[in-house]
Each structure stands twice: as C-alpha cells, then as structure tokens.
C-alpha cells in the first residue's frame, strides 16, 4: 500500500476470525478475536500486558495451538509451511545463541526458512548492513548490546524476503536513535510492498507508522481501524474567548442552534473561557462564532481537537463502570 | 537444507561448551593411557615401567591379541560403556531443554518445519556427538593397535554404530525427560537413575534366571538319578536325592514367580548391557580373538550351581539360553523401548504451547 490509498480496501494478508485460546478452564487468553490486516499496510497491535497480543501473534506463528480459529494468513491456512516460509518474525524476548555471530544468526534463520545457501549468504551481508551491523557481522552475539541483538533479530526476520513481517516489541531495549531507525526501516518495508504487523507498547511509535491499529483488552479486540476512524467519535471543537461563559451556553436554545454538535464543557482556562463542542466541524461552528462576535466577545483561539492514541488507548483499557484500569492478565 | 542447518547449529552449540572440549580432551587422554600400556615377554609395561604378569605377556598372547582384548575389556566396557557415556550425557543433556527454552523455541517453531522433524533432528544431533566421540576413540585405538600391535583391525570401527546405538537408548530417556521437565539437570539425574534401575533389573533377571535354571537342572538331574535302572542308588543316596528333589520342587514356584516378574520388566527395558555384550561378541568374532578368551569374554560369574547336574552341563545350559536371546531380540526390544520414549517426547512437543 502506498501512502494515500484507502487503508480499508485491498486484499488481506491476515484474515482471522474467532480465534480463541484458553489455558485450562480458568484462563481465557483469546476470546473470539477477529483481525484483518491488509496487504502492504503497517498494522499496530496494542494492549496492556496480558491482553493477549503475544498469544495472538504466537497462534499465527504456530507457537501456540488455538482452541478455535478460522481464516488465513497470506491466503493460506494458519501453520501452512509455504506461508511460514514467507513470514518474517521477531519474537519478544528472543534468545539467539550468544556464541553465534550476527551473520550466523541471519544465515541459520535463512536456512530454516528454506532460503538457498548462496542466496542467504548474499542477503546476510546486505541485511546486516541495512540494520547497521555491517561491521559486527563476524562477532559473537555475546559481545552485542541489547539493541544490537534486536537489530540482528530484525535482519534474521528479513532474510527470507518476507511478504509479512511480524514484529513483537521490536524496539524493546533500543535507544531513541535506534528507535527512529527502526521506524524508518518499518516504513521502508511497507514501501517495498511488505505487510508489517507491529506489536508494541510504545504508542507514539505505533501512532507514527501504523495505518491501522487494533486495541486488545483481556483477550478481546475492543477497537480496530485507522487511527482517524477510532478517534472520530472524540473529535472536538474548542473556542477560547475572553470574559465569562455566555449565558446561552448549555441551554436548549444553544443546542438547537448548534447542530450537530453539543456543548461538552465550558469553563475558565488560563487564556480565557474555553468552550468545547463535541463532534462539531468548522462549518457548523460558524453560527456560534457569529453569535459570539455579535455579543462583542473577543475570540482568542479556535481549533479542532481530537483524542490522541494514548487517550484512545487509556479509554479502551479503562473500565467505564468503575473508572479503573482493567487488571493486567487474560480474561477469566 | 534445514536438517544440515540444525546439525551445523548443534555442532556450534556443542563446541561452544567447555564440556565438549573437556570430553574430547578426556578421550584423547584415555587413548594416551591406552597407547602407553605395552606388553613384553615378562608382563605389562606402563610409561616404560615393567610389571611381571603370569597371564599377560607375549609368551601367553601376542601383542595384537592383548591390545584387542584391552580394547574390548577396557575400551568398550569401562570407557565407552561407562565413563564416556556419562560424559556424553552430561554434555548433551541440555540439547532438548535448550531447544524448548523460552525465547529460543519461538524462533524455530515459526519456521516451516514440522515439530516431529525438528525434535527428531535435534535428538539425532545428540547421537552425532556420541558417534563423534566413539569415532575419535576408535580411530586413535586403530592406530595404536596398528603401530604397537602390528594389526590394522578395521573391525574396531564397528564400535561406532553399536556404541552409538547403546548411547541412543539412554539418550532417548534423557530427551524424553528433558522435553517433559525442560530441565537439563532433571534429565541428567533421571537418566542416570533410569540407567541404574535398568542395570538392577537386568541383574535381577540374570540372577533369578540362573537360579531358575539351576533349579530346573537339579530337578531333571534328581529325576534322572531316581529313574536310573542301570545304576540304582542305594537307600541313603535315594533318600538324599529325594530330599533334594522335594526341596527343589518346593522352591520352584518361588523361582518361577521371581523370574517371571523380572523377566517381563526386563523385556520392556532397553538392553544396554546386552548391547555392549553383543558388541564384544561381534568384535571378538570379527577381530579373531582366540577362542580360549572368547568364552571368558562374555560368560558372567556363576552364583548358583545345581547340586546334581555337572558344572559343564550347567554352563552349557547357560550358554544355550544366552544364545536363545538373539541379537535381533536384544536390538528389537531395545528399539521398541527407544521408540516409546521418542514417541512420548514427540507427543509432548507437538501438543505443548510455548
């Protein structure tokens, strides 16, 4: 997918429905999860610890056996060897043997993904250069920092030139500069036509690169879509004026005068009085601005505001009835 | 491609361990000791020191025979069959637990390889280590016997497949326990305990079998004496034989029961000792060790002797029964045990989530 195309259209790389997994009778790690990732997009998987993100990824990679699952990955059944050969996977907390060199790690990964010997030798050098380990390829991983091991892992995940790249917390332990490089690399992978599934706790990272996200809480996908779609309901229009809150604000007259928006809050802020209208767009706000000007009010600022991904995430992981954060861990 | 990659990775894994080099160094040390032992007309020599021996000297046997015998008794029974096996178990007991360790298993299960194939290939890498160790030892001994004994005995290399098979019987237990417990220490300890238990059952079966055989022969011999009309025993002798017969008949159910229990347990277990015995038999036959030593090499100590049958008759019966358990019976029942161990480990591996 190139930037600018509709993220809700196109063939699916991951098309899974009803994914369930229980551990014993008490722990339900995944409860009928539906997930649909389009080819060529960067898809973010979010959720608190124990939400089931890694379990979902492990189900896709055949590391965990689901209780039930329907659908396909890259057009084939989950676990199909042909499909697995075209997926690159970097697991969370991976442990490559410390005595192997970076090059050996990449070459071993290539051999296990059925990449021909000559090809994987060529690719190993190129990939190590790409992740910034060109000069470290012949040194053992025991001499690498954590961030360097992540880079080596990423190179190993890409050795089979995958159509789908699944990255589970790829920037864990990576410094800010390295994170930036990782982000650039993920975008570059997307631009090459690959699908990237990114499982990360770093919301800013996901917000920056992902075209669509899913938020998981206690084994369920509670929100899924583009960030614009997910935050649309939270779109607000803020008008800051000098002086006190107009008397008509909050009255039925005001509400009728301002369809489709309605006054969300009105109160004194540092710069004056802030009026916040929910779901209002610029055109619909003009009558309000006209009225304020008619009354001789000074309009200090006008802006549209929408929820950040962090706000969205916090809303998703908060129990609306109690106002408390859902407890970590799978649903029981 | 994947199989080769796993073998190469296993070699790298083993060679990265100090234990691997310790095992290799110990093997070469043992070969050095083997090479330093010599034989002359007086007796044995060790690092140039002479020790007189009435049995081991060049008047009693040729240097070639001595070295072959030394290889069989010391090289196989003690080194390969005992110490090197423990060393190999210590070195390789971590192969399966390391395979299924968190962080490692995710990387490999996500690859297009089936779990049974992955596990069995990893299992084979453990056997490769044992085979490598035996190959190094056999090669070194081959040259020692060639140079010092004057015989280039290719049959020594039969030790590689047979000792590897012997090792595979124990390593299958190690792999199964390692898969179930995911612990190197547990797999090592339980394998050694299982080996001790197998040896105890084997000894118990042998002991009760000897007793049962002696009992059977005693009954046959007593009945033969009592039924002999050409030389009928006098009254005292008849009374004595009748008493012995009654005693033998009385104890027979106990022998049958005891042996029956041991035998059925024994059938289900791997025949580790018998596998090495078979190895010795093959080597003795192929390497043309004199027949006088042949019987000595595989006849066990005698615990029971029938009162009425002659020692020769009893020995002949023991040999006859020993021969009735063919090499194929030993290999077949052992392989069945190994297959069960591997099946359990594979089933656990295939069904488990990581």
Q: In this predicted complex, what is the ipTM?
A: 0.80
List the single best residue of B94, B109, B110 to mutate versus A (max A Cβ within 10 A). Answer: B110
Average pLDDT over residues A85-109: 94
Q: Quick check: A309 contacting B, CB < 8 Å?
A: no
> How many CB pairs lie under 8 A apart between chains A and B?
82
Return d(Cα A60, Cα A266) in angstroms, integer.
Answer: 48
Q: Which two tokens stand for residue B61?
A: 């046997």
Residue B350 distance to chain A (closest CA, Å): 9
Residue B117 distance to chain A (closest CA, Å): 12
Return d(Cα B46, Cα B64) in angstroms, integer.
Answer: 17
**Which residue among B5, B16, B112 places its CB closest to the CB of A108?**
B5
Sequence-ordered list of residues with C-beta below 8 angstroms from that of B71, at least 6 positions apart, any chain: B34, B141, B145, B156, B283
Residues of B in contact with A81 (CB under 8 A): 112-114
pLDDT of residue A3: 44
| Domain segments of chain B as ranges | 63-354
Q: pLDDT class for B305, splitting at 50, 70, 90?
A: low
Q: Quick check: A81 contacting B, CB < 8 Å?
A: yes
**pLDDT above 50 for A255:** no
Mean pLDDT for chain A overall = 85
Q: pLDDT class for A253, splitting at 50, 70, 90?
A: very low
Stretch among A62-66, B121-125, B247-251, B298-302 having the lowest mean pLDDT: B298-302
List the single best residue of A112, A143, A149 to mutate versus B (max B Cβ within 10 A). Answer: A112
Q: pLDDT class for B298, splitting at 50, 70, 90?
A: very low
Q: Quick check: A113 contacting B, CB < 8 Å?
A: yes
Pick the residue with more confidence: B285 or A177?
Answer: A177
Q: pLDDT class for A269, splitting at 50, 70, 90?
A: low
**pLDDT above 80 for B326:** no
Closest CA to A314 of A217, A249, A232: A217
**pLDDT above 60 for B262:** yes
Average pLDDT over residues B164-179: 96
**Which residue among A61, A94, A97 places its CB closest to the CB of B13?**
A97
**pLDDT above 60 for A254:** no
Q: Quick check: B1 contacting A, CB < 8 Å?
A: yes
Asked if B113 lies within 8 A of A112 by C-beta distance, the reply is yes
Contact A158, A127 (CB under 8 A): yes
Contact A316, A48 (CB under 8 A): no
């Amino acid at each position: 997918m190139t930037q600018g195309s509709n993220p809700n259209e196109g063939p699916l790389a991951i098309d899974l429905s009803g994914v369930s997994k229980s551990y014993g009778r008490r722990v339900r790690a995944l409860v009928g999860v539906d997930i649909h990732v389009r080819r060529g997009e960067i898809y973010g998987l979010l959720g608190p610890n124990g939400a089931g993100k890694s379990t979902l990824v492990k189900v896709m990679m055949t590391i965990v056996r689901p209780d039930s699952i329907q659908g396909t990955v890259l057009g084939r059944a989950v676990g199909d060897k042909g499909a697995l050969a075209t997926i690159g996977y970097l697991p969370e907390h991976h442990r490559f043997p410390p005595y192997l060199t970076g090059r050996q790690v990449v070459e071993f990964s290539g051999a296990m993904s059925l990449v021909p010997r000559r090809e994987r030798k060529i690719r190993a050098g190129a990939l190590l250069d790409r992740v910034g380990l060109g000069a470290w390829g012949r040194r053992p991983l025991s001499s690498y920092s954590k961030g360097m091991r992540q880079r080596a892992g990423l190179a190993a995940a890409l050795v089979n030139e995958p159509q789908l790249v699944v990255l589970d917390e790829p920037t864990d332990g990576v410094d800010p500069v390295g994170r930036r490089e990782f982000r650039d690399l993920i975008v570059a992978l997307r631009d090459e036509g690959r699908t990237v599934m990114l499982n990360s706790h770093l919301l800013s990272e996901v917000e920056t690169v992902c075209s669509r996200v899913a938020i998981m809480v206690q084994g369920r996908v509670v929100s899924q879509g583009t960030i614009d779609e997910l935050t649309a309901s939270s779109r607000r229009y803020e008008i800051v004026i000098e002086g006190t809150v107009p008397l008509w604000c909050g009255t039925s007259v005001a509400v009728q005068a301002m369809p489709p928006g309605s006054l969300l809050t009105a109160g004194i802020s540092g710069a004056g009085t802030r009026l916040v209208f929910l779901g209002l767009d610029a055109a619909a706000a003009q009558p309000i601005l006209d009225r304020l000007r008619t009354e001789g009010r000074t309009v200090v600022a006008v802006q549209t505001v929408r929820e950040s991904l962090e706000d969205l995430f916090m809303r998703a992981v908060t129990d609306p009835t109690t106002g408390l954060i859902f407890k970590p861990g799978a649903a029981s | 491609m994947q199989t080769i990659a796993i073998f190469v990775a296993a070699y790298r894994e083993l060679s990265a361990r100090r234990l691997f080099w310790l095992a290799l160094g110990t093997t070469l040390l043992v070969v050095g000791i083997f090479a330093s032992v010599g034989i002359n007309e007086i007796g044995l020599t060790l690092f140039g020191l002479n020790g007189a021996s009435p049995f081991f000297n060049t008047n009693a046997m040729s240097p070639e025979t001595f070295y072959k015998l030394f290889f069989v008794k010391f090289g196989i029974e003690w080194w390969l069959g005992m110490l090197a096996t423990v060393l190999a178990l210590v070195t390789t007991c971590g192969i399966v637990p390391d395979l299924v360790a968190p962080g490692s298993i995710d990387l490999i299960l996500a690859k297009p390889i089936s779990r049974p194939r992955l596990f069995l290939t990893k299992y084979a890498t453990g056997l490769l280590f044992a085979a490598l160790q035996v190959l190094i030892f056999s090669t070194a001994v081959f040259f020692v016997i060639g140079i010092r004994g004057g015989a280039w005995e290719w049959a020594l290399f039969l030790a590689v497949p047979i000792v590897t098979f012997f090792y595979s019987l124990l390593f299958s237990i190690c792999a199964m326990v390692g898969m179930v417990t995911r612990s190197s220490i547990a797999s090592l300890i339980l394998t050694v305990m299982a080996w001790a238990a197998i040896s105890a059952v084997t000894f118990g079966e042998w002991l009760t079998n000897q007793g049962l055989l002696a009992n059977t022969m005693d009954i046959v011999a007593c009945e033969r004496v009592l039924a002999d009309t050409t030389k009928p025993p006098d009254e005292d002798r008849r009374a004595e034989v009748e008493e012995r017969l009654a005693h033998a008949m009385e104890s027979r159910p106990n022998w049958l029961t005891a042996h029956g229990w041991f035998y059925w347990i024994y059938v289900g277990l791997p025949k580790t000792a018998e596998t090495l015995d078979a190895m010795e038999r093959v080597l003795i036959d192929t390497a043309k060790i004199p027949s006088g030593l042949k019987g000595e090499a595989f006849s066990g100590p005698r615990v029971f002797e029938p009162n009425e049958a002659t020692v020769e008759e009893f020995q002949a019966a023991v040999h006859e029964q020993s021969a009735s358990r063919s090499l194929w019976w030993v290999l077949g029942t052992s392989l069945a045990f190994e297959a069960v161990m591997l099946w359990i480990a594979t089933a656990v591996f295939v069904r488990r989530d990581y």
